[in-house]
Structure 1
């Protein structure tokens, strides 16, 4: 279950705008809470907006798994990469996800292990 949930999570972050809402609904509970060093949002709409901002900031890059999913009970931790398809990742992150009773992700606590310097 947790590996599939993480696959759905990454698919939502890679989704084109026309399919983003459906991918988010498939992967996350309606009351999802997502927190990382750059954002703290709640709900499908806010998460969809955040995903759009990330895609605009890193056009043409894709999110991929960075290793195996480690899970127990209703939680999982996993590393992800953001970079060109098949290439060296530009951003590396580590997330902890908590699942709701239906197996969708209810909470994400995200950490950035490597990222490019921010301009300005």
Structure 2
């Protein structure tokens, strides 16, 4: 049997991504978080396109927060799961204390303990 490398803490990493990147309104703190959590040249796959690089991901996160207002937040809805470098975390988003506007899941490829590729999957709106 071949030895496998130690698994990253998928839950801590993906929760930190939600909190420190996608909920962070301060651009400098968001940039610092991206440097901590993502590889040098990450790629993010969104329903509307592909975003390449830490700076571009920071811009997308900042625009989302601006678009939806000061009370808008992403929150995990469970614990992240993963193995062999692939992790996922379900989340919901909306105004803090208000109705849930969108739900989805982040799926991340983890390389050397950092996010290399991130897929943002949105659930269809509730009927």
Give the alignment's TM-score, normalised by structure 1. Answer: 0.86
Gaps of 5+ in 2: 1-8
Looking at structure 1, the residues matched to 51 and 12 of structure 2 have their Cα atoms a distance apart, in angstroms, of 23
Looking at structure 2, the residues matched to 26 and 87 of structure 1 have their Cα atoms a distance apart, in angstroms, of 31
Q: Are positions 1:4 and 2:12 aligned together?
A: yes
Name 1:90's counterpart in structure 2. 101
Q: Are positions 1:35 and 2:53 aligned together?
A: no
Equivalent residue runs for 1:59-98 within 5 Å? 59-60=69-70, 61-98=72-109
Q: Please report how far the alpha carbon of residue 42 of structure 1 lies from its aligned counterpart in structure 2 after TM superposition.
A: 0.9
SS of equivalent to 1:107: strand
SS of equivalent to 1:20: helix
CA contact (8 A) 2:108 2:116 kept: yes
Gaps of 5+ in 1: none
Q: Are positions 1:104 and 2:100 aligned together?
A: no
Q: Please report how far the alpha carbon of residue 87 of structure 1 lies from its aligned counterpart in structure 2 after TM superposition.
A: 3.5
Looking at structure 1, the residues matched to 29 and 93 of structure 2 have their Cα atoms a distance apart, in angstroms, of 20
Deviations 1:30-80 (A, max 9, x none): 111000112311111111111111112111201110222121111111211
